[in-house]
Amino acid sequence: MKGILSSVFLVFLTTLCANSQTDTALVDVNFKFTDGLYVDAEQLRTNRPEVRFNILAGNLIVQEEDFLLKVENLHPQGRPDMPLPLDKVDFMVVNGLPYIQAYQDEERDFTVYSGLRVRGKLCYFAYSQNQADTILIKAYNPVNGIPFRQQNVVRDREQLVEKVLDLTNGEVVDYNLDNLLQLFEEDPALIKSLTSLPEEEAQKRLQRCLLIYDDRHPIYLPAAEPLTN
């Protein structure tokens, strides 16, 4: 995947070479990633994008309050005939915040990226998406109120999708109790505190436990690279 982007933008990327920096910083809510396009989580950990936005043109919408980035198209400036293959870009960073590719909005022809709301070794992101849902429809007798016919109907319904990204390996899993217990494997105390609770109460504390885990298990990445011409 990396080779595809490199071949498309080779003439532009030659201007982006810079001396590597060894300074690292703690990844938390204040950490700033370098703006640009990243092929995968491995590249995101380097904090060095494959392509910077300053050499690109195209159409994108940033909804900061909703942690959403909607991209219609991107291409090198002056070269609309060289569209960027968005399916090869797992992450985009805008104003220091990473957005991970979430889904393709076929109706509006957007590639939708979701912002990482919690940033650390384990990152949390969430977005709403129309998904097929099976609904049981019943017809009732108006006289006695007893259903006389029922049928399962599949309809699109907006649902909240919650995910966790393991920044160390790029794995993305559903945000639920079972998955977080596995991700907390190296923190027995945290696991014990969750498993000692009723399941409903444990579910309510997942967000807090995720923050505690990131605090106890910090990850450090290279500091953001200044933009140079």
pLDDT at 225: 72
| Residue ranges making up the domain that contains 145 | 2-12+24-222
Tell whether 228 is covered by a domain. Answer: no
pLDDT at 124: 98
SS3 annotation, 76-125: ECCCCCCCCCHHHCCEEEECCEEEEEEEEECCCCEEEEEECCECCCEEEE
Tell whether 138 is covered by a domain. Answer: yes
Side-chain-side CA neighbours of residue 16 (13 Å): 21
Residues of the chain scoring pLDDT < 70: 1-22, 131-136, 139, 141, 143, 145, 148, 152-156, 227-229
- The count of structural domains within the chain is 1
Tell whether 69 is covered by a domain. Answer: yes
Tell whether 66 is covered by a domain. Answer: yes
Tell whether 227 is covered by a domain. Answer: no
pLDDT at 18: 42
Tell whether 197 is covered by a domain. Answer: yes
Tell whether 19 is covered by a domain. Answer: no
Tell whether 229 is covered by a domain. Answer: no
